[in-house]
Chain A
């Protein structure tokens, strides 16, 4: 555990010693803020319109459905698909390029300790991003009274979704010395996993059903609604475990090479 924390701490410091952490945080805050602003604006306009028309008193739509859910659903997933490669691309690629991978692999650490350390380090930066999201949502609590309960499921979903992408991105980062390649491959594969379920609109063949099961975003729907579904949780946890396992295999294969 001590070893894992040492590596995780090193990774986290590396993010904040370099411009990456600030770049990712800024981009995220700006995009997330813009989406938050537009959803809120639409909500406000609609509410005024309704009051002008009927003046029914009670609002037919809730903050949760109008702002929080779309914020999580469409927007965050897309933003994260783009930003997570920036977080993971350096994990192994940078160590391979600078030769520091030799330091890690000749230290009395198991491969799993190194992998988990790196994974938790990346997760740490990701947690900061999640915190930014909840700062925006906190504003709604200041000026309105949204339902807090769905937020638990939404937070858990966001966490699992991000962790799954981080684990896969870490694996892609073991393939190459080149961070740009690692990042591009991650981005391409994340986008592919994202669009896999688009076919369901016109087809319900078994193949399409398998594809849409594999799609990363379909499993986020329930979480976005505020429902914790065991199947979806299992899906994300499996992807995380798979990512860690494949990273381990890849690091193992790396050792035989000059």
Chain B
């Protein structure tokens, strides 16, 4: 449904996103996980057609966002980090306006507004001014806005940021219910959140994709491994076999090879420095060792940078008992 191919984006001389590629299947919920400033928003903005890519291709529902922007945008619903609402408008009036510019037929407009209002639980504030709603309601109006034209693809930028625990749980439920009918990409910097809502996670740091996989698989891989990069000139299969047998090494993955040199990713037990043993193993076998270094930033480091605190789980925050609290305006 979404294909991102070697996407690169510069802001002037600053590289924001570098060579990012991934695909999202129809009906899938994909989490976009990374610390602040990693390039999540930039990538999402390119997918929605808000900013053009510097290099690379992005296709949404088969339409290239640069070559066929209107068609691609017709299939995309987008909730930016800040809900794009007009504070002076009433909720229904706003949704009708968005419906019109998103190409909802006039005769369907009322029905669609009713549907998304029900879905996002904002029927009871339909005639209230958006500027006077609470943050939680505004977020839901933003989500309703993204759904109004029943898009195939939903792009949600930090949909739970700034919400209280009860609202976070509600929003997650809502997103889970959207899976299947819509393809959803959501960004977050909170690991447990991605684990709860997404089927697959793309971890991004400093503009580069560092890992892709199901959340539990990623977490398993994270538990107690250290990664070393090793470049050797020698027969790849034999080298791998030899490295595997070094004590303390858990598993070895070939990364890339050129001119007979192969780079391996060696994962070892946490807290154990196997670099000396690795070097000895290579040299003893009379292969040439070109490079040996700890991987600049391991997944673990990145995850440490991610806030792992999950508001909805903290016991002190407690779920507010009063249902009316959400509506309180200020």
Contact = CB atoms under 8 A, between A and B. Distances in A.
B137 interface: no
B101 A6 contact: yes
Contacts of B45: 102
A163 to B, nearest CB: 24
Contacts of A106: 48-50, 73, 76, 78
B88 interface: yes
A105 interface: yes
Contacts of B48: 102, 106
A109 B80 contact: no
B70 A103 contact: no
B50 A102 contact: yes
Contacts of A249: none
A107 B89 contact: no
Contacts of B76: 106
Contacts of A13: 89, 93
A204 interface: no
A7 interface: yes
Nearest to A104: B101
Interface in B29-73: 42, 45, 48-52, 70-71, 73
A102 B73 contact: no
A255 B48 CA distance: 12
Nearest to B145: A103
A107 B101 contact: yes
Contacts of B42: 258
A99 B82 contact: yes
A98 B86 contact: yes
A205 B2 CA distance: 63
A99 B45 CA distance: 13
B78 A6 contact: no
Contacts of B86: 10, 14, 98, 100
Interface residues of B, number: 32
Interface in B71-99: 71, 73-74, 76, 78, 80, 82-89, 93, 97-98
A104 to B, nearest CB: 7
A5 B92 CA distance: 18
Contacts of A107: 73, 98, 101-102
Interface in A98-141: 98-110
Nearest to A6: B100
Interface residues of A, number: 27
Interface string A232-258: 000000000000000000000001111
B230 interface: no
B113 to A, nearest CB: 14
A46 interface: no
Nearest to B49: A106
A17 interface: yes
Contacts of B87: 98
Contacts of B82: 98-99
A109 to B, nearest CB: 6
Among A13, A102, A258, chain B packs the most CB atoms within 10 A around the CB of A102
A200 interface: no
B102 to A, nearest CB: 6
A2 interface: yes
A7 B71 CA distance: 19
A147 interface: no
Given A103-B145, A109-B101, A18 B52 contact: no
A98 B84 contact: yes
A255 B50 contact: yes
Contacts of B88: 14, 17-18
Contacts of B97: 6, 9-10
Contact of B51 (A98, A100, A109, A256): A256
Nearest to A100: B84
Interface string B5-45: 00000010000100000000000000000000000001001
6 contacts: A13-B89, A99-B84, A103-B145, A255-B52, A256-B51, A256-B52
In the complex, the 7 A-B pairs of residues with the closest C-beta atoms, listed nearest first: A103-B84, A6-B100, A17-B88, A108-B73, A99-B82, A106-B48, A100-B84
Interface of A: 2-3, 6-7, 9-10, 13-14, 17-18, 98-110, 255-258
Given A102-B48, A106-B50, 8 more contacts: A18-B88, A98-B82, A100-B86, A101-B84, A103-B78, A104-B101, A106-B48, A257-B51
